Amino acid sequence: MQELIKRAKELLADGTVVRVLGWKAGDLPYNPEPAYFAKDTDFADFVYNGFCGANLSKYMIEASKMEGKTLVFLKPCDTYSFNQLLKEHRVEREKAYIIGVGCKGKLDIEKIKALGIKGIQSISGAELTDEAETLTVQTLYGEKTCAYKDAMLERCHVCKGKEHKIYDELLLTSRDTTDADRFAEVARIEGLSPEEKFAFFQKELGKCIRCNACRNVCPACSCRKCVFDSNKFDSSQKANADSFEEKMFHIIRAFHVAGRCTDCGECSRVCPQGIPLHLFNRKFIKDIDEFYGEYQAGEDVDADAPLTSFTFEDVEPSVVSTRS
């Protein structure tokens, strides 16, 4: 972490950048927030640890509008998002100085709490430099421990790899965290009967409170004004009538980001109701891979996106009912 601060200060000092976008320690051990740093003294609160899951790419949309260059710290997975935003002209490359930071998997406080750990006072073992495999948590109800792996975000278990796709320089090393099949859960659901599938999603989406956190955190959902907020389709934004509303929202949202979603996992990370929203996006990714060839959004800025290209021999929509 000190390397990051040191380098950021240097780049501020030599005028390469005028501000730094990173993470600031929160008032609890696990809630750092995205923040800008401009003066040396700001860095007292700078933090980079296992809880810095937030993908800073989307903030670069706003940062691109600001005067001068912004130093941004991007984790390997965040760089895919940055590339995708670049492809869509939503961020400006010249306005960003990207330091690719290493990652050993990010932590999910909900998972820690789900293990029955509550009244948290402090957590050790969440630093990137920490070689420990275990988190030690001091709580009001005594000291608790849990394996780092068990507290990792779902997305880190199916990590796309620790290679940065765009950067000006790299700092800190990463650790491979992939230990699960990215499409296993999608495949499992595909194998269910229509009744079971429906019951599964009905239960999950029934929890949705239409808070829009998934949409607003999503780097692909970068529309100035979402269709669900405009009167173009008079589709209301806020009602959760516990009927069709949420389905429409989530299907259309997934469709709008199909071929653009990098699978960064932010939607699932922030959902206050713990809805596995990535299952929608990943379904599209899986289908796109199967129907039109493997495609990873954000990997290559110049690649043709699957929904804005075609081949004469594409499968017919009837494939949905004919494939086993």
Partner 1 sequence: MLKIEKEKLPELFAKIAAGQELYLPVNISGQVNFAAWDEEVQVDLTTLKSVKSPKDAFFPQSENLYTCKREGKKITIEPEELKNQSFVVFGMKACDVQGLKVLDQVFLSDPVDTFYAARREHGVIVALACHEPEETCFCKVFGIDCAEPAADVAAWMAGEELFFKPLTEKGEALTKSLEGLLTPAGEAGEQAVEEEKAAIRAIVEKLPYSNLSLEGWNGDALTEKFDSPLWEELYKPCLACGTCTFVCPTCQCYDIKDYNTGHGVQRYRCWDSCMYSDFTMMAHGNNRTSQMQRFRQRFMHKLVYFPANNDGMYSCVGCGRCVEKCPAALNIVKVIKSFQKQGGEK
Partner 2 sequence: MQRIGVFVCHCGSNIAATVDVEKVVEIIRQEPGVVHAEDYQYMCSEVGQAKIADAIHEKGLTGIVVCSCSPRMHETTFRKAAERAGLNPYMVEIANIREHCSWIHKDVEEATKKAVILARAAIAKVNLNAPLKPGESRVTKRALIIGGGIAGIQTALDIADAGYEVDIVEKTPSIGGRMSQLDKTFPTLDCSACILTPKMVEASAHEKITIYTYSEVEKVTGFVGDFTVDIRKKARSVDMDKCTGCGVCQEKCPSKKAPSEFNRGLSNRSAIYTPFAQAIPNVPVIDREHCLKFQKGKCGVCAKVCQAGAIDYEQKDEIVTEKYGAIVVATGFDVIKLDNYDEYAYSQSKDVITSLELERIMNAAGPTKGHLERLSDGKAPREMVFIQCVGSRCADDRGKSYCSKICCMYTAKHAMLIRDKYPDVNVTVFYIDVRTPGKNFDEFYRRAVEDFGVNYIKGQVGKVAPQPNGRLLVQASDLLDNRQIKMEADMVVLAAAIEPNPDVRKIATMLTASIDTNNFLTEAHAKLRPVESPTAGVFLSGVCQGPKDIPETVAQAGAAAVKAIGLLAKDKLLTNPCTAHSDELLCNGCSTCANVCPYGAITYEVRQVNDHGIREDRRLAVVNEALCQGCGACTVACPSGAMDLKGFSNRQILAEVDAICQ
Partner 3 sequence: MSIETNETFRPKIVAFCCNWCSYAGADLAGSSRLSYPADVKIIRVPCSCRVNPMFILRAFEKGADGVILCGCHPGDCHYSTGNYYARRRMTLLFSMLDYIGVENGRTRVEWVSAAEGVKFSATMNEFVEKIRSLGKNVRLGDLRCRS
Which listed range, 89-97, 138-146, 183-191, 262-270, lies at the site for partner 3 (CB under 8 A)?
Answer: 183-191
CA distance 37 to 54: 16
Site for partner 1 in 251-270 (CB under 8 A): 269-270
Q: Looking at beta carbons only, is 192 or 303 nearer to partner 2?
A: 303
CA distance 320 to 247: 20
- 217 makes contact with partner 1 (CB under 8 A): yes
Binding site partner of 175, from partner 3, partner 1, partner 2, none, Cβ cut-off 5-8 A by kind: none
- 324 makes contact with partner 3 (CB under 8 A): no
Binding partner 1 (rule: CB under 8 A), the pick from 7, 34, 88, 171 is 34
CA distance 69 to 220: 22
How many H-runs (helices) and E-runs (strands) does the chain carry? Answer: 12, 8
Q: Looking at beta carbons only, is 137 or 254 nearer to partner 1?
A: 137
Tell me the CA end-to-end span of the chain in Å, nearest whole number.
50
Site for partner 1 in 55-94 (CB under 8 A): 59
**Phi and psi for 35 in degrees, rounded to 5?**
-155, 155
CA distance 287 to 323: 12
Nearest to 155 by CA among 273, 289, 261, 239: 261
- 240 makes contact with partner 1 (CB under 8 A): yes
CA distance 29 to 36: 20
Q: Looking at beta carbons only, is 27 or 67 nearer to partner 2?
A: 67
8 Å CB contact between 24 and 32: yes
- 198 makes contact with partner 1 (CB under 8 A): no
- 308 makes contact with partner 3 (CB under 8 A): yes
- 230 makes contact with partner 2 (CB under 8 A): yes
Binding site partner of 36, from partner 1, partner 2, partner 3, none, Cβ cut-off 5-8 A by kind: partner 1
Residue 251 Cβ vs partner 3, minimum distance, rounded to whole Å = 6
Which residues, in sequence order, are CB contacts of 204 under 8 Å at separation 6+? 275, 276
Task: Retrieve residue 110's tokens.
Answer: 């909900």
- 287 makes contact with partner 3 (CB under 8 A): yes
8 Å CB contact between 125 and 135: yes
Site for partner 2 in 290-319 (CB under 8 A): 304-305, 307-309
Which DSSP state fits 3?
A: H
Residue 47 Cβ vs partner 3, minimum distance, rounded to whole Å = 39
CA distance 88 to 262: 13
Element (H, E) at 134: strand 134-139
- 232 makes contact with partner 2 (CB under 8 A): yes
Binding site partner of 35, from partner 2, partner 1, partner 3, none, Cβ cut-off 5-8 A by kind: partner 1
- Residue with structure tokens 């933090």? 47
**Phi and psi for 157 in degrees, rounded to 5?**
-70, -25
Binding partner 2 (rule: CB under 8 A), the pick from 49, 55, 79, 222 is 222
CA distance 215 to 220: 9
Residues at the contact surface with partner 3, assessed by CB under 8 A: 186, 189-190, 192, 194-202, 227, 233, 235, 241-245, 247-248, 251-252, 254-255, 258, 280, 283-284, 287-288, 291-292, 306-308, 310-312, 314-321
Residues at the contact surface with partner 1, assessed by CB under 8 A: 26-28, 31-36, 54, 59, 114, 118-121, 140-141, 203-204, 206-207, 209-213, 215-217, 225, 229, 236-241, 269-270, 272-274
